A = this chain, B = another copy of it.
């Protein structure tokens, strides 16, 4: 069994994402985490639409955290590393590490998502079968 799987994707900081200090406004890292999840989802077939269209489940965030280490400014490139953290609970957990062009850590973060029956707006507390299958396939 693999310990974990991860994805690396690159974004370039937009002008509109920077604040009057000339640096990425801290709230925009939450977007970068979503970019990371997107790229992960594409690589491993577990994007929002993949999940929703096959199961009618939404996967809303219940926790997010971010630790900021270095400033990054307009036009700089950021590598977003998104790592899947396995858990027995009915949750999707990711850890993020963002690197600048010098390979220095810009920030680290974590997100926790749960499974929600989108029609009934009800939380799913046992791991959905599709997710168990997905884990078997990708984590062995």
Binding site for B on A (CB under 8 A): 12, 14-16, 18-23, 25-27, 30-31, 34-35, 38, 47-49, 58, 60-68, 71, 73-75, 118, 121
Contacts and interface: CB of A to CB of B under 8 A. Distances in A.
12 contacts: A14-B34, A15-B25, A18-B20, A19-B20, A20-B21, A21-B58, A23-B60, A27-B30, A27-B64, A60-B68, A61-B68, A64-B65
B58 A62 contact: no
Chain A contact residues: helix, strand, loop or mixed = mixed
Nearest to A75: B49
B27 A16 contact: yes
Given A47-B75, A66-B65, A25 B20 contact: no
Contacts of A63: 65-68
B30 A19 contact: no
Given A47-B75, A64-B66, A25 B16 contact: yes
A30 B75 CA distance: 18
Given A31-B27, A34-B27, A68-B63, A19 B18 contact: yes
Contacts of A66: 63-65
Given A15-B25, A49-B74, 14 more contacts: A14-B31, A15-B38, A16-B34, A19-B20, A20-B20, A20-B22, A20-B74, A23-B60, A26-B30, A47-B75, A62-B67, A62-B68, A63-B68, A64-B65
